[in-house]
């Protein structure tokens, strides 16, 4: 049964005023959420590319249940020894018996869209903050709708039929799988055009000489990471952030290796490949 606090009348959506994002207040995500409230959250999510909830106290089961309102949460491609639920991935620099309990450590992670190196990339990601460092570790998101719309007509025309490769090195896979997606994709729910290239995973452009491709990709990376397209989230314990990988990319700032950070992530994959 849904919690009375989770009724639609208590939903309070507050845009960040930045390039993207909105805070949603008035909900207790440790309790089920009725369908009309879920529908309103989905609309806010599509409108703002990212929504976040502060001060939540949720279990892994709660997080999986909430994720399931928006699609089927799936096991991440990374294997982890500490997983209690297969849908939960630990993002952490904490070690146990000399071994990391999670993934991605404490260093900077460049801008990327989750799992863009797969034929069917990530759709929705959710990250729940359990422990946060006292400094560093913020996450920045880029509005790739706005970045595309900020290109001039000649550049839009140049990109219209181009496809870029996405590569993630996996030591267990030799040679690594390389997939390609349109440089400009059409969001399947909003119908809006979005840039789909990132400094972390984009490698080359199909049918283009390597030097020319690197010049074009460098231009696009610099363009889409301008401050006017970026919003930064300063994490607090109890934050749950939900973002759209089809319309954004994100990066993590580094933080001191001697400070603990523990996040729990759930992931929904695309049902189809990205299309221009």
Q: Distance from CA of residue 21 to its chain's centroid?
A: 12
Q: Quick one: 142 exposed, middle or buried, by C-beta within 10 A (0-12, 13-18, 19+)?
A: buried
Q: CA-CA distance, 134 to 162, in Å (whole number)? A: 43
Whether 37 contacts 248, CB under 8 Å:
no
pLDDT of residue 271: 76
Q: CA-CA distance, 135 to 123, in Å (whole number)? A: 29
The torsion angles phi and psi of 47, rounded to 5 degrees, stand at: -70, -35
Q: What is the mean pLDDT of residues 123-149?
A: 97
Residues 212-261 have pLDDT tens digits of: 999 999 999 999 999 999 999 999 999 999 999 999 999 999 999 999 99
Q: CA-CA distance, 227 to 205, in Å (whole number)? A: 26
Output b/e per residue, 51-82; b: 16+ Cβ within 10 A.
Answer: bbbeebebeeebbbbbbeebeebeebeeebee
Whether 133 contacts 256, CB under 8 Å:
yes
Q: Tell me the fold of 4-105+124-130+234-243+257-269.
A: Double-stranded beta-helix (3.60.130)
pLDDT value at 175 more than 70: no
Q: CA-CA distance, 201 to 192, in Å (whole number)? A: 22
Three-point CA angle 18, 64, 92, nearest 5°: 65
pLDDT of residue 81: 62
Q: Predicted confidence band at 55 (pLDDT cuts at 50, 70, 90)?
A: very high
pLDDT of residue 3: 57
Instruction: Name residue, tokens 């959506």.
Output: 13
Q: What is the mean pLDDT of residues 191-202?
A: 96
pLDDT value at 4 more than 90: no
Q: Which residues contact 261 (CB under 8 A, 6 or more apart)?
A: 91, 92, 93, 94, 106, 131, 132, 133, 137, 255
pLDDT of residue 79: 62
Q: Which residues contact 31 (CB under 8 A, 6 or more apart)?
A: 2, 3, 5, 6
Provide the residue count of the chain. Answer: 276
Residues 73-132 have pLDDT tens digits of: 987 665 656 668 889 999 999 998 888 888 999 999 999 999 898 899 989 999 999 999
Q: CA-CA distance, 11 to 145, in Å (whole number)? A: 26
CA atoms within 13 A on the CB side of 91: 21
Of 131, 64, 127, 125, which is closest to residue 93 (Cα–Cα)? 131
Question: What Å distances lie between residue 68 and 71, 120, 252, 269, CA to CA?
Answer: 5, 18, 25, 12
pLDDT of residue 170: 60
Q: CA-CA distance, 263 to 247, in Å (whole number)? A: 22
Whether 137 contacts 256, CB under 8 Å:
no
On average, the pLDDT of the chain sits at: 93
């Amino acid at each position: 049964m849904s919690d009375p606090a989770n009724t639609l009348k208590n939903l309070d959506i507050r845009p960040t005023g930045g390039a993207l994002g909105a805070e949603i207040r008035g909900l207790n995500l440790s309790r089920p959420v009725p369908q009309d409230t879920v529908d309103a959250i989905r609309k806010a999510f599509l409108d703002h590319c990212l929504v976040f909830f502060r001060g939540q106290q949720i279990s892994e089961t709660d997080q999986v249940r909430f994720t399931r309102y928006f699609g089927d949460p799936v096991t991440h491609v990374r294997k982890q020894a500490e997983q209690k639920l297969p849908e939960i991935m630990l993002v952490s620099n904490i070690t146990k018996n000399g071994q990391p309990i999670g993934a991605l450590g404490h260093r900077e992670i460049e801008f990327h869209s989750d799992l863009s190196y797969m034929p069917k990339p990530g759709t929705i990601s959710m990250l729940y903050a359990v422990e946060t460092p006292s400094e560093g570790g913020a996450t920045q998101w880029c509005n790739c709708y706005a970045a595309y719309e900020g290109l001039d007509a000649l550049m839009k025309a140049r990109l219209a039929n181009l496809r870029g490769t996405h590569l993630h090195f996996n030591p267990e896979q030799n040679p690594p799988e390389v997939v390609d997606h349109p440089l400009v994709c059409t969001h399947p729910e909003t119908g809006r055009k979005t840039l789909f290239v990132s400094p972390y995973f984009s490698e080359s452009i199909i049918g283009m000489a390597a030097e020319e491709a690197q010049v074009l990709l460098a231009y696009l990376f610099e363009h889409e990471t301008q401050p006017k397209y970026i919003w930064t989230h300063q994490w607090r314990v109890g934050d749950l952030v939900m973002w759209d990988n089809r319309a954004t990319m994100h990066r993590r700032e580094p933080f001191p290796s001697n400070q603990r950070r523990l996040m729990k992530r759930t992931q929904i994959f695309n049902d189809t490949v990205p299309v221009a």
